[in-house]
Amino acid sequence: MLELRDITAGYDRGAPVVRGVSLTLAPGEAVGLLGPSGCGKSTLARVAALLHRPDAGTVVLDGTPARGWRHRAPREQRTAFGVLFQQPRLSADPRLRLADAIAEPLRATGRKDQIPTRLRELAPLVGLGDDLLARRPHEVSDGQLQRACLARALVLRPRWLICDEMTAMLDASTTAALVAVVESYRRESGAGVLAVGHDRTLLERWCDRTVGWAELGAATGMPDVA
Amino acid sequence: MTAHRTPDPRPAPNPAPTTGTPPEGTDEEPGAATAPPRLAVRGLTVRFRMPGGRSVAAVTDADFDLAPGECLVLVGESGCGKSVLASALLGLLPGNAEATGTALLTDAHGATELLAAPETELARSVRGRRIGLIPQSPAAHLTPVRTVRSQLEETVRELTGVRRGAGLRAAAERAAARAAFPAGHLDRHPHQLSGGLAQRAATALALAGDAPLLLADEPTTGLDRDLVDRTVDELRRHAEAGRALLMITHDLAAAERIADRVAVMYAGRIVELADARRFFGTPGPRHPYARGLLDALPGRAFTPIPGMPPELGDLPAGCAFAARCDRATMTCATLPAPRDGVACHHPVPPEREPDRARTA
Ligand code: SF4
């Protein structure tokens, strides 16, 4: 289980963008979190992925409360997550070839020996051939880069995938292709998925259940500054 | 050649005056039945010269007309050439690009061939005045050191003649409101705005100029569905007042909401140009790529088109969609010429629903 209990978070203690929000994901479950931009749902997604320390509340990962955040999180908790963001260009290291970007989490966790195998498995899954794998981010399209980011998010076989507006920049076909990859991974691995977005049609098609931001308790935020 | 004339298969951008019934108005009245289209694009082609003598075929042979009051939406995935087409119309291509063909802009100021017009003319009297632009990256379009209000007031002052005082202030606030830009944020600087608000500020600036042709390049990026709807509805109203709107987007829902006609771009070519109601409704698109794109929508089959588009620097000799197309035959190794708005050797027939079964 991934449990978010009574989370309050933000960037200014006086004005949290998430206030008292609770949400639970079962293994193998895909939950859509629907809300307008600026409402704080991305902040909640970052808390769920242990990338942002909440001001109050607890994240409980399979019964164990999270105690550290970002690089301070214990490795087995940190690597339980794969994370995808809206803008692949902001999350991909511009110097790395796509193959190296995908393999980077393996290298960082001392599993270099698995790199060739995992690349052989993942590259066809996300539709990247050798030619694209050898390129750097500025030499590929947004859609191709997001495919690489998805492969990187899956490379450590995470138990939880957090997708924050993963497809907002992408055309319909690339969107359908990437969601299909996430879904086949979910089926085969039993991982849980939290899909954050503002497209109701997409989330309802993709997820087992979709919750609106306003239903999540005393949610707050700044819907006016989308 | 003496008396015999070969008819041009393509409609001429500037029809010769008819000899029978005289046109209704004697002066050039935009919107009159005999008026030329606001924008007539013929054979528009853009090539980028790359290091090593390579060439990238960003746009090839684009043909379309856009009438006053009409909204044409150009759809396609990122990198298909649609933004390059917009840049070509505005004379904003980088130095290594070469544009050929013609793009004739006709409005109350006269007729200007945009590809041949000198940069001085484009800068002085076309961009912002005769063609309003809602840019893809609004941050780059806003002046960082000035507030949104001061930029809006300057645009209103320069382009509409409202000089100063309460009238100017009110005109700027009206422009902001039309783009759903909150009045409480008018005194902010661009860096104090979120992406969505910067987008709305850029839209407000473009609407304030009241140009007869509006070019909107992904105007809804980063906006929620509600705001997408509000923005495109406002653009639609703007067009209905007699201006022409060319919108470029990857958002098919936004396109469906606003378009009179849809142009689908694939690998630098317009592969289908169709009436929007027929395209999104029945009988649906006729080009296999356009069909695939609609089938990929989460409200429809949610099935991706297999594979990825070819590189614009390495296009096949025949149909660029052949490698992904379930209707491809040997014929498709030659380039399909557009017929009835569809560039395909085996378009889906308009009168019957195709066999939707897939082998996957
Ligand atoms: S020309 Fe042939 S390959 Fe191209 S879209 Fe039509 S059927 Fe498919």
Is the CB of B157 within 6 Å of ligand 1? no
Q: Ligand 1 atom 6: the closest Cα is on which residue?
A: B344
Tell me which chain B residue has its CA closest to the CA of residue A124: B307
Cβ–Cβ gap B298/A36 under 8 Å: no
Q: State which ligand 1 atom lies nearest to the alpha carbon of B345.
A: 1
| Residues in B touching A38 (Cβ below 8 Å) | 194, 196
Whole-Å CA distances, A84 to A149, A150, A164, B152, B295: 7, 7, 6, 37, 25
The angle subtended at Cα B134 by Cα B91 and Cα A203, nearest 5°, is 130
Cβ–Cβ gap B225/A170 under 8 Å: no
Cβ–Cβ gap A174/B77 under 8 Å: yes
Fold of B36-130+212-359: Rossmann fold (3.40.50)
Cβ–Cβ gap B77/A180 under 8 Å: no
Whole-model pTM: value is 0.84
Phi-psi region of A157 (alpha: psi -120 to 50; beta: other; left: phi over 0): left
| Residues in B touching A204 (Cβ below 8 Å) | 298
- Residues B63-68 have a mean pLDDT of 96
Cβ–Cβ gap A38/B194 under 8 Å: yes
Task: Confirm or reject contact between B358 and chain A (CB < 8 A).
Answer: no
Q: Mutate which of B287, B344, B348 to test ligand 1's pocket (most atoms within 8 Å of Cβ)?
A: B344
Write out the E strands in chain A. Answer: 2-9, 18-25, 30-34, 56-61, 64-65, 81-84, 160-164, 192-197, 209-212
- H/E stretch holding B261: strand B261-266
Selecting from A173, A199, A225 the residue whose C-beta is nearest the C-beta of B304 gives A173
Residue A124 has pLDDT above 70, yes or no: yes
Q: Which residues pair with B54 in a beta bridge?
A: none
Contact by Cβ (8 Å): B213, B140: no
Selecting from A172, A199, A225 the residue whose C-beta is nearest the C-beta of B296 gives A172
Percent of chain A with pLDDT over 90: 69
Instruction: Provide the ipTM.
Output: 0.89
Q: Could you read off the pLDDT of B100-143 as tens digits, one per residue?
A: 999 999 999 999 999 999 999 999 999 989 999 988 777 667 78
Model pLDDT, residue A109: 92
Cβ–Cβ gap B224/A180 under 8 Å: no
Model pLDDT, residue B1: 37
Domains of chain B, residue spans: 36-130+212-359, 137-210
Helix/strand/coil percent split, chain A, to 5: 40, 20, 35
Selecting from B77, B194, B302 the residue whose C-beta is nearest the C-beta of A205 gives B302
Q: Could you read off the pLDDT of B262-272 as tens digits, one per residue?
A: 999 999 999 99
Tell how far CA A100 is from the center of its chain.
Answer: 19
| Residues in B touching A139 (Cβ below 8 Å) | none
DSSP assignment letter at B310: P
Tell me how far apart the 2 most distant CA atoms of chain B are, in Å: 69
Tell me which chain A residue has its CA closest to the CA of residue B198: A226
Model pLDDT, residue B46: 97
Measured CA to CA, the distance from residue B157 to residue B25 in angstroms comes to 32
How many angstroms separate the CA of residue B114 from the nearest CA in chain A? 29
Measured CA to CA, the distance from residue B257 to residue B277 in angstroms comes to 10
Nearest to B199 by CA among A168, A179, A134, A53: A168
Altogether, the residues listed in chain B come to a count of 360
Highest-scoring range by mean pLDDT, A78-92, B57-71, B166-180, B240-254: B57-71
Nearest to A109 by CA among A151, A80, A75: A75
Measured CA to CA, the distance from residue B104 to residue B87 in angstroms comes to 15
Question: Tokens representing A186?
Answer: 């979910």
Residue A81 has pLDDT above 80, yes or no: yes
Token match 């970007």: residue?
A101
Residue A45 has pLDDT above 50, yes or no: yes
Q: Which of the four pLDDT bands, split at 50, 70 and 90, describes residue B338? A: very high
Selecting from B221, B298, B304 the residue whose C-beta is nearest the C-beta of A205 gives B298
3-state secondary structure of B216: strand
Is the CB of B148 within 6 Å of ligand 1? no
Q: Which residues pair with B97 in a beta bridge?
A: B48
- Residues A142-164 have a mean pLDDT of 95
Query: B101: how many CB neighbours lie within 10 A of its CB?
Result: 18
Contact by Cβ (8 Å): B228, B253: yes
Model pLDDT, residue B245: 96
